[in-house]
């Protein structure tokens, strides 16, 4: 049993040393920032988008021309929430005792907010009340304008950006686009995991953000690169991982970042000096066990037919022809029309993932743990 600080992060970002690769992506984001290009960053959940943003911001610290702000709008349900989260993000990045922070605090005070401080993190929390819709819009414009008028360039990353599509206010996209167009020194990274929603927003000629950014699609980390990182990271902690154990991890997690990190994290906990196949298999089993309650919950929320399709997908691994005789016949999952309808519903619930490729594309169970669990249990 290992009591040392676990070097395999399954949350957040710590340092370049504990972060695997993404050098090209960091350089691309840097090039965009230097050339005034906004970026749309897309990948399935848990691939490493948020990690990449933090890695990039860490890299950017060496360049005095830039300052960075990160806001995760996943919890936002309205424009007011969005403004609140953005203000708090700015305050976090530029505390009151910095020049920018001082200026920002003065602006914020003009909004007569209730300011409280989180009892654990000590971070400021704002509660702003607005008299009118117009006041809200002005506040948003004011915040962006404030960022834009500093003596450095700003990179503002908005994580889970697709969330704005669900705000009750109808004109948010147009409003934001208009305000953003007025800025001179602020580069945006719009980040999201709903590929359909993000590409619709940025590639449909009918939408305000049409063709306003360049895409960066985050893919799996290359197998050899990840393998090298895992060996090195264990080695730095005086642990040797055996080749077949390493192979097993990368196959079992299908190379997806979060799952690979998770298995390595658990294996690190269980290991003394050596990570062998036995420890890795034990780690995988433990992870499935600890996620089981959530899997039972999914089953409860799905129809039996949906559950059957999910099991069939897990057993196949990847399915490119969902209505083929091969798939339908093998698993008795109904008519082609049934399967099409069910797959659509499961995609919507983010239980299935569709990956498009040159030759068409394929479906798979979104959550790798769920996929491995279904494979094993049914």
Which spans of this chain sit near Mg ion (rule: CB under 5 A)?
Answer: 49-50
Picked from ligand ADP, Mg ion, none, the partner binding residue 165 (CB below 5 to 8 A depending on kind) is none
Q: How far is CA 348 from CA 8, 58, 66, 197, 240, in A?
A: 31, 34, 38, 11, 42
Smallest separation (angstroms) from ligand ADP to the CB of 225 = 9
Q: Which is nearer to ligand ADP, 211 or 294 (CB)?
A: 294
| Cα Dmax for the chain | 68
Q: Do the strands 240-241 and 274-275 form a parallel or antiparallel pair, or are they unpaired? A: parallel
Bridge partners for 216 per DSSP: 41
Smallest separation (angstroms) from Mg ion to the CB of 120 = 22
How many residues are listed for the chain in this entry?
A: 378
The contact set with ligand ADP (CB under 6 A) reads 9-13, 19-22, 43, 45-51, 193, 257-258, 261
Q: Which is nearer to Mg ion, 163 or 186 (CB)?
A: 163
Residue by residue, DSSP assigns 88-101 as HHHHHHS-TTSHHH
Smallest separation (angstroms) from ligand ADP to the CB of 201 = 18
Picked from ligand ADP, Mg ion, none, the partner binding residue 46 (CB below 5 to 8 A depending on kind) is ligand ADP
Q: Which is nearer to Mg ion, 68 or 137 (CB)?
A: 68
Picked from ligand ADP, Mg ion, none, the partner binding residue 103 (CB below 5 to 8 A depending on kind) is none
Residues 6+ apart with CB under 8 A from 226: 20, 21, 250, 255, 260
* 217 close to 43: Cβ distance less than 8 angstroms: yes
Q: Which is nearer to ligand ADP, 261 or 364 (CB)?
A: 261
Picked from Mg ion, ligand ADP, none, the partner binding residue 84 (CB below 5 to 8 A depending on kind) is none
* 40 close to 213: Cβ distance less than 8 angstroms: yes
Q: Which residue number has the CB closest to Mg ion?
A: 50
111-118 contacts at long range (C-beta below 8 A, 24 or more positions apart):
111/139, 113/87
Smallest separation (angstroms) from ligand ADP to the CB of 261 = 5
Smallest separation (angstroms) from Mg ion to the CB of 70 = 11
Task: Identify the helix (H) or strand (E) that includes residue 242.
Answer: none
Bridge partners for 361 per DSSP: 356
Q: Which is nearer to ligand ADP, 11 or 223 (CB)?
A: 11
Q: Which is nearer to ligand ADP, 46 or 84 (CB)?
A: 46
Smallest separation (angstroms) from ligand ADP to the CB of 6 = 11
């Amino acid at each position: 049993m290992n009591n040392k600080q676990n070097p395999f992060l399954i949350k957040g970002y710590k340092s370049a040393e504990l972060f695997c690769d993404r050098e090209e992506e960091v350089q691309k984001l840097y090039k965009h920032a230097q050339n005034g290009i906004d970026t749309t960053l897309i990948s399935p959940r848990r691939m490493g988008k948020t990690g990449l943003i933090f890695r990039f911001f860490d890299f950017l610290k060496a360049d005095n021309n830039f300052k960075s702000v990160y806001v995760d709008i996943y919890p936002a349900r309205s424009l007011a929430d969005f403004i609140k989260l953005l203000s708090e993000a700015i305050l976090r990045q530029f505390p009151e005792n910095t020049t920018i922070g001082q200026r920002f605090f003065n602006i914020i005070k003009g909004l007569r907010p209730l300011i409280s401080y989180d009892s654990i993190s000590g971070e400021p929390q704002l509660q702003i009340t607005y008299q009118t819709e117009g006041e809200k819009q002005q506040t948003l414009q004011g915040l962006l304008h404030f960022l834009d008028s500093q003596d450095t360039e700003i990179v503002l990353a908005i994580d889970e950006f697709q969330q704005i599509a669900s705000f009750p206010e109808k004109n948010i996209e147009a409003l934001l686009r208009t305000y953003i167009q007025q800025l001179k020194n602020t580069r945006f990274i719009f980040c999201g995991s709903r590929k359909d929603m993000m590409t619709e927003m940025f590639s449909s000629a009918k939408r305000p953000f049409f063709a306003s950014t360049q895409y960066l699609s985050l893919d799996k980390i290359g197998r050899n690169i990840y393998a090298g990182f895992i060996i090195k990271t264990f080695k730095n902690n005086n642990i040797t991982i055996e080749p077949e154990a390493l192979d097993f991890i990368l196959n079992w997690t299908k190379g997806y970042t979060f799952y690979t990190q998770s298995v390595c994290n658990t294996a690190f906990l269980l290991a003394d000096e050596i990570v062998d196949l036995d420890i890795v298999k034990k780690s995988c089993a433990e992870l499935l066990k600890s996620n089981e309650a959530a899997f039972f919950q999914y089953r409860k929320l799905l129809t039996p037919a949906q559950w059957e399709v999910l099991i069939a997908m897990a057993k196949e691994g990847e399915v490119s022809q969902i209505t083929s005789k091969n798939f339908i016949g093998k698993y008795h999952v109904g008519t082609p029309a049934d399967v099409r309808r069910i797959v659509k519903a499961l995609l919507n619930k983010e239980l299935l993932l569709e990956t498009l490729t040159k030759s068409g594309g394929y479906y798979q169970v979104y959550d790798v743990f769920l996929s491995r669990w279904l494979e094993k249990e049914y």
